[in-house]
């Protein structure tokens, strides 16, 4: 029996993308991880959803290198129990 992807995978609204970031076990996600979760759509569409959430102030983008970015919510970075991506190198 084949399992068809549900609407969460085929229609990654900004809110569904935000929920995925918030529920991740780490305090941040890479673009690739979000794209793999929503693998039924183009990676560029996922990137656009992430950027829209940044524009709305719901996510923060941290560019690790020219080709790698991580995304997290503002409250994830301010919570004492969670560390920022930049604090991993200290």
Considering only the top CATH level, what class is 7-75? mainly alpha
> Edge-to-edge strand order for the sheet containing 60-63?
29-30, 69-72, 60-63
Choose between 86 and 71: higher pLDDT.
71
Query: What confidence score (pLDDT) does residue 5 get?
Result: 44
Extended beta strands in the chain, E state:
29-30, 60-63, 69-72
Query: What confidence score (pLDDT) does residue 33 get?
Result: 93
Q: pLDDT tens digits for 48-81?
A: 999 999 999 999 999 999 989 999 999 876 544 4
Q: pLDDT tens digits for 6-59?
A: 444 456 788 899 999 999 889 899 999 999 998 888 889 999 999 999 999 999
> Does pTM top 0.75 for this prediction?
no
């Amino acid at each position: 029996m084949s399992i068809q992807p549900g609407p969460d995978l085929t229609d990654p609204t900004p809110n569904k993308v935000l929920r995925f970031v918030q529920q991740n076990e780490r305090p941040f996600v890479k673009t690739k991880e979000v794209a793999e979760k929503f693998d039924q759509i183009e990676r560029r569409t996922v990137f656009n959803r992430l950027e829209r959430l940044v524009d709305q102030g719901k996510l923060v983008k941290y560019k690790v290198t020219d080709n790698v970015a991580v995304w997290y919510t503002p409250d994830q970075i301010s919570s004492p129990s969670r560390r920022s991506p930049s604090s991993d190198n200290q």
